[in-house]
Amino acid sequence: MRGPRQTGAGSGDAAPMAEAKKIAIKKPPIRFQETQRVVERIGKRLGGPFIAYWNNPRGAVCHNDVVALYRLLEQLGKSRRVYLFVKSSGGNGQASLRFVSLLREYFKEVHALVPLEAESAATMIALGANAIHMGPMSYLTAVDTSLTHDLSPIDRDNERVSVSLDELKRVIRLWQQEKDQTASNPYKSLFEYVHPLVIGAVDRADSLSIKLCKEILSYHVKDRQKIERIATTLNSKYPSHGYPIHSREARSLGLRIDELDHGLLDLLLELNELYSEMGQKSTTDFDETHSHTNEVLNILEARGAMVYYQMEKDWFYRTEERRWVTMNDKSGWQRMVRSKGKVVQERFHIL
């Protein structure tokens, strides 16, 4: 999962943290019993297996999600059709391909339920569905590539920022349009802010993004020209990475878009509300330089089981560097299973 690089804060921090332990640490609620009731109602309404995949805005589509999904699928078993609720702001596109590939190992037909946002890498997951069910608040986005590289520029919080190939191309195009006779090569000035290896890596990642979209679409679309058109449009034809593609426009791209019926939409929004309560950021401030955060970032759930990633860290503010660093990172995956009327919770180790 994403987060600041873990760094030791020095021996001088031990005493304040010892005092901090006397303060009760806030924790987000885990609403497994309530979410299970909604999951069962949705499954009965759909008449088939149902899986929920939900990301906190600070969470992301990642490779570990695929392992978590496998745990749920082994419990569900193989069948003809599955309904997948997707709510995410994006993440790793290669993980999206693995996610779709795994679903296709268990189900011949996949239906994506998108009541809210399915952005970037989550749009890629939706592309792997035979049909995407959207409501009045639903949207997909462009999937043009942005990359956080070890040599990426640093922001004011001393964190590496993502670089988008589309943004780089636009800078160069504007430079060429506005240049005069004294203008120099745009790359010479651009290299002062963006390392040339970063530009090369982003260009390579852009080709990868198109390839991923084609592979995902090929699971259910046989027309090669249609696949090419959809993949190219999503990667290069929109003015911004977060451009909202609503149902009408998604349909015009050639995707099969079905309307979410009102009753199902209400149940999905009810489930989203419970997940949002679980995903709230719970921060305990011990003093001006010490705090503790606890929040659920990623959730996968099916009937009888839930797997979720919980971030739990102590934080120390380094005044001389003007940034927060982490200590005592207890973050990890958890699994909850309902068996014989009891709920069993256990640590689920994924590296």
Q: Does the structure show a pLDDT above 50 at 73? A: yes
pLDDT given for residue 242 in this prediction = 86
Q: Does the structure show a pLDDT above 60 at 322? A: yes
pLDDT given for residue 10 in this prediction = 44
Q: Parallel, antiparallel, or unpaired: how do β-strands 305-318 and 79-87 relate?
A: unpaired
The band of 99, judged by pLDDT with boundaries at 50, 70 and 90, is very high
Contacts 24+ apart (CB under 8 A), 193-197: 193/153, 194/152, 194/153, 194/163, 194/168, 195/149, 195/151, 195/152, 197/149, 197/151
The band of 197, judged by pLDDT with boundaries at 50, 70 and 90, is confident
Which range of 16-20, 176-180, 211-215 scores highest in mean pLDDT? It is: 211-215
d(CA 269, CA 114): 10
Domain boundaries, the chain: 11-141+244-348, 149-216+230-239
Give the global pTM. 0.83
In angstroms, what is the C-alpha Rg of the chain? Answer: 22
pLDDT given for residue 19 in this prediction = 53
pLDDT given for residue 247 in this prediction = 97
Lowest pLDDT segment from 6-20, 177-191, 231-245, 253-267: 6-20
Mean pLDDT, rounded, of the chain: 86
Instruction: Give pLDDT tens digits for 150-168.
Output: 767 777 666 677 766 666 7
The band of 51, judged by pLDDT with boundaries at 50, 70 and 90, is very high
Query: Taking the alpha carbons of 249, 232, 201, 121 in that order, is the dihedral positive or negative?
Result: positive
Lowest pLDDT segment from 191-205, 218-232, 300-314, 329-343: 191-205
pLDDT given for residue 236 in this prediction = 82
Please indicate whether residue 338 or residue 185 has the higher confidence score (pLDDT): 338
What kind of fold does domain 11-141+244-348 have according to CATH?
Answer: 2-enoyl-CoA Hydratase; Chain A, domain 1 (3.90.226)
